Homo-oligomer: A and B are copies of this chain.
Amino acid sequence: MKNLTEGNITEAVIEAIKGTKDPRAKEVMSSLIRHLHAFVKDVRLTQAEWEAAIEYLYDTGQITGPTRNEFVLTSDTLGISSLVDIINSNPDGGTEASVLGPFYIEGSKMVEIGANLIGDSEGEPTVVSGTVRTLGGDPIEGAIIDLWQTAANGLYENQDPDQPENNLRFRMRTNKDGYYQFTTIKPVSYKVPTDGPVGRMLDLQGRHAWRPSHLHYKVSADGHRNLITEVFDEGDEYIEEDSVFGVRQSLTVPYNLVTSEEEAEKYGVASPFHRVEFDFELETL
């Protein structure tokens, strides 16, 4: 007769999954069981606290659907998504990855190098350029830069019915020098959604929900590993305390103010404007 106790229940659960055929699934599940059990034992979790945890998951499930994933936001705000990004970043160098977040949409419109996204958008004009290269420094022609960013109200196009479709998001192919360039408005810092369980958790933890201003990118090229990353304004007031822990030093850049009318004319923007430069390095597969 198996008599389950605090001392043997963890091994009993591991024993119960010994028939897991996939060795990696067995390893991952065993470790998850060990860590969750160790957590319960370490804090001597009470029944009321267990019920609160179940209620959190229940509420998170209720608010989650095809257009909003509060489980992802939970993972983001507990630093788990970023930890996974860090662990899976190129061991051999190259641009660091950062969180995908919930606002990416596949299939944004294709535009030409030099495109101006401003349209009717309010905000500070910004010219962004750089190259996509291999780790060895060779330019990658035809790499696809896929960008999405907030408007001046802190919302992405797919959060905001007042923005036109494809507003402040696009895809662009690099030229033979691996070069990309576009004109946009400076993204603003914004809050992750706080009207759900994550908002209540942040309140309980005495934290704010702000993310520093960033340009969000997916960069891909044949024969190279896809890169999802963010390029941050190093001067943003939340740069030290991103609510989802996405910032890496290597991903922060200055927004240099340019007052020259001649430069403004060259890029077809009003003066003054910001200049941002960032080079991506992709791992070869």
Seen from chain A, the residues whose Cβ lies within 8 Å of a Cβ on chain B are 1-6, 9-10, 12-13, 16-22, 25, 27-29, 31-33, 35-47, 49-50, 54, 57-58, 60-62, 64, 69, 71-72, 75, 78-88, 204-207, 234, 239-241, 243, 245, 247-250, 252
Contacts and interface: CB of A to CB of B under 8 A. Distances in A.
Give the secondary structure class of A's interface.
Answer: helix
Contact of A69 (B13, B27, B47, B54): B54
Given A37-B83, A40-B87, A21 B206 contact: yes
Nearest to A240: B2
A84 B19 contact: no
Contact of A13 (B9, B206, B234, B245): B245
> Which 8 A-B pairs rank lowest in CB-CB distance, beginning with the nearest?
A61-B61, A19-B206, A3-B249, A13-B79, A17-B205, A35-B39, A57-B71, A35-B35
A43 B33 CA distance: 12
Contacts of A61: 57-58, 60-62, 64, 71
A234 B79 contact: no
Residue of A22, A40, A72, A234 with most chain B CB atoms under a 10 A cut-off: A40
A29 B205 contact: yes
Contacts of A75: 50, 54
A228 B28 CA distance: 32
Contacts of A80: 36-37, 40, 50
A78 B35 contact: no
Given A3-B249, A60-B61, A16 B47 contact: no
Contact of A3 (B44, B54, B248): B248
Nearest to A201: B29
A108 B169 CA distance: 58
Contacts of A87: 6, 40-41, 44-45
